[in-house]
Amino acid sequence: MCRCHQHHSCHGCHHAVDRRRFLQGFGAAAAATAGGLRSLSGMAADDPGKKARVAAVFLDSMNTREIWPYPNFDTKKRRQEVLAALAKGCPQVEFIPVDAKQAVAMKDKVDGYLVYTMTLVWGQGRQMTQIAQLGKPTLVADEFLGGSGVFLTAYSGLCSRKIPAAAVSSTRLEDLATVARQFAKVDKDTTPASFAKQCEGVYRKTFGARGDMKCTEDKVTLTDIGECVKRFRDSRFLIIGRGRAGQEHDFLGAKGRYLDFSELTAFYEKADQDKAAEWAKRWSDQGKKLPAGEYVDPRVPTADAVQKAGGVYLALLELLKKYDTDNVTMNCLGGFSSGKLPSYPCLGFMQLLNDGGQGVCEAMPDDTLSMMMARILTGRPGFVSDPALDTSKNQIVYAHCVGTTKPFGPKSEANDYRIRTLHNRDPRGACTESMFPAGYMTTSFRTNAGRKQMIIHQAKALGPLDTERGCRTKLIGEPTGDIGKLFDQWDQFGWHRVTVYGDVKEPLTEFGKALGLKIVEEA
């Protein structure tokens, strides 16, 4: 949990590029801090017959297809469910549903704020920050695999700026109600910091018990650290659809070259369509079929989408050959939505990962560097993900639409997968839903090359989560450490983490230090 309301300072709290997306435009931190220290008066706890009044702000815009939990999610129905659970569990608190603008205007008429991140719309993080800066007792909560990215990054931004707020990330609405009951205890001596500390104490009692952490034996063959550093610094990778085409940049010694989509599409137009069809058939034949009637439509992409994915894969192979690398990261969502990319590269990325290369989503150099570290050290591909926390089960879920099916390396047996539409349910796009195996220790980490840092934690893999929410591949993990410490580093390192199968925290830490990185253990 955020440690900014405790006696020691928020661990490792530094400004980072990732946070600017969420906190721009709300620079009144000094005024907010002063407000956070001000005692509050006129509260319900001073009058036993009076209910506490709490403004409930639901961040739930559906004005984009790139949305979690999924397109056409019934936000109105979910708001009603949440408010009903709060009314039942918090009889001494009146929750007043308002939008963010109204919430700010009624600052002097309420005893506190509840901010509920229901959907994944990045600009909404600014609204959470603005409300938390008002200096009232504030509780922020997450719709699991819904608003998780906004919740984690914006809340940890509050921690970095030492703006006190309580937080809940649980699939049980009863847990949210248990914490929200603390609003009824707010009195004239309550500060935002003391409220947040009281809430954390109550919230931790709702955490799920830790399960059996014994893992299946998994012997990992490791590369010597000196050789790892040499191979890393000799590495080259392509960044397609972001940056200035033709430029090359040094990332901790590795070289990233920026390209636009035109080079890839030129190869796509020359691709052998018969070979593209062969790859489409191979992927389709090897994938498992979806059970009938159990999923939100559209569940599967069109045959044409899979065929085009085969063509993009062949084009990628030619582009990688041209630049003498097996490593690429691409602004896939932006490229497809703008018409510059004929199909999503997800199926081709799966094949690259399975064959010992790298295909990485979203044109992310830090993800790419992390994947390189895992691959060089262990010979295994990583899994880039958008994590979400469920404290009721003591679990973290790693979710994304590209997943290898050979997490133990190119020579290992493949696990099952299904070909699906992406999180946006566009039938013109195809990706894999990989059914990662359970029972093994995993190590999750991410570099921040600009700040020369690396964050790391471990979790036991519990297998895939089967739900329509969020991205397609979802691996459940049970952290080896305190899940309550997994709340406050996301603004500094970004939402993504890279997960590799294997108990390799120590050698990855050694590798990171050899690259000159400061190591941050997040749980």
Please report the pLDDT score of residue 316 as a whole number: 98
Which tokens hold the place of 267? 């190869």
Contact (CB, 8 A) for 392 and 440: no
Alpha helices (H) in 327-444, listed in sequence order: 332-337, 346-354, 365-378
Q: What is the CATH number of domain 225-521?
A: 3.20.14
DSSP helix/strand/coil, 151 = helix
- Classify each residue of 160-171 as buried b or exposed e, where b means 16 or more C-beta atoms within 10 Å of its C-beta: bbbbbbbbbbbb
The CATH fold of domain 17-204: Rossmann fold (3.40.50)
Single-letter amino acid code for the residue at 147: G
CA 87 to chain centre: 30
* Relative orientation angle of helices 192-204 and 29-37, to the nearest 10 degrees: 70
Where do the structural domains in the chain lie, given as residue ranges? Answer: 17-204, 225-521
- Angstrom distance (rounded) from CA 455 to CA 448: 8
Q: Is the bond into 69 cis (omega within 30 degrees of 0)?
A: yes
List Cβ neighbours of 198 (8 Å cut-off, separation of 6 or more): 182, 185
Q: What pLDDT is stored for residue 23 in this prediction?
A: 35
- Quote the CA–CA distance of 207 and 240 in Å, as a whole number: 42
Per-residue confidence of the chain (523 residues) as pLDDT tens digits? 765 544 333 333 333 333 333 333 333 333 333 333 333 434 566 666 689 999 999 999 887 777 899 998 999 999 999 999 999 999 999 999 999 999 999 999 999 999 999 999 888 999 999 999 999 999 999 999 999 999 999 999 999 999 999 999 999 999 999 999 999 999 999 999 999 999 999 999 999 999 999 999 999 999 999 999 999 999 999 999 999 999 999 999 999 999 999 999 999 999 999 999 999 999 999 999 877 665 555 778 899 999 999 999 999 999 999 999 999 999 999 999 999 999 999 999 999 999 999 999 999 999 999 999 999 999 999 999 999 999 999 999 999 999 999 999 999 999 999 999 999 888 899 999 999 999 999 999 999 999 999 999 999 999 999 999 999 999 999 999 999 999 999 999 999 999 999 999 999 999 999 999 999 999 9
pTM of the model: 0.90
pLDDT of residue 22: 35
DSSP 8-state code for residue 31: H
If you write DSSP's letter for every residue of 377-402 in order, what string do you get? HHS---EEEEEEEETTTTEEEEEES-
The predicted structure's pLDDT at residue 125: 93
pLDDT at 375: 98
Coil, strand or helix at 501: strand
First-to-last CA distance in the chain? 10
- Sign of the four-CA dihedral 237, 243, 248, 250: negative
Task: State residue 102's pLDDT score.
Answer: 96
pLDDT score recorded for residue 295:
53
If phi over 0 gives left and psi between -120 and 50 gives alpha, with beta otherwise, what is residue 241?
Answer: left
∠ Cα 287 382 242 (to 5°): 95
Query: CA-to-CA distance for 89 and 294, rounded, in angstroms?
Result: 32
